[in-house]
Amino acid sequence: MNGSAQLSPYPGIKCVILRSHAVSSGRVRLSSGDPDSPPVIECRLLESAEDVATLVRGIEAVRAIVNTDPIAKLIEVEVTPGAVEGGASLDVAEFVRSHTEPSCHPIGTCRMGVDEDAVVDPELRVRGTENLWIADASIMPDAISANLNAPCMMIGAKLGRQLVAKGRWRTA
């Protein structure tokens, strides 16, 4: 992708298949002791065969829906993943592996919890520091099947109320 988009010269529909609760798990780690060095981000998408199988079933479900009337009457051809000659399906699992990208809602890089491995405690304080809190999706220990805007606003409001109650933050 080069940042530009063009409309197709024909009418079409697009369905996006999303694995909301993936088994595969990535990580973010330091690349060096230099704080200006970018972190190493390892998405590790599709590390689990279960994630690939779920996405394949998603494509099969969409195909079943669009091959049912009345929508089937409106569709002339499946462009992607597409079909090969004779109507045989392409290797959908291979298509999934070569076309899957991370979604735009990463969570959990600074997981909140009560155990030693949690970066943030239930009061949103970063363990081992003073006067440092995190209030965004990175503290979420588990993914949700929705947009993150509302939960992030709730997390921010929780921290704001805590800080106001403790006299650490004043409202205008």
Tell me the catalytic residues: 105
Nearest to 157 by CA among 124, 131, 115: 124
Radius of gyration of the chain (CA): 22
Is the distance from CB of 93 to CB of 99 less than 8 angstroms?
no
Is the distance from CB of 102 to CB of 43 less than 8 angstroms?
yes
DSSP annotation string for 117-133: T-SB-TT-BBTT-SS-B
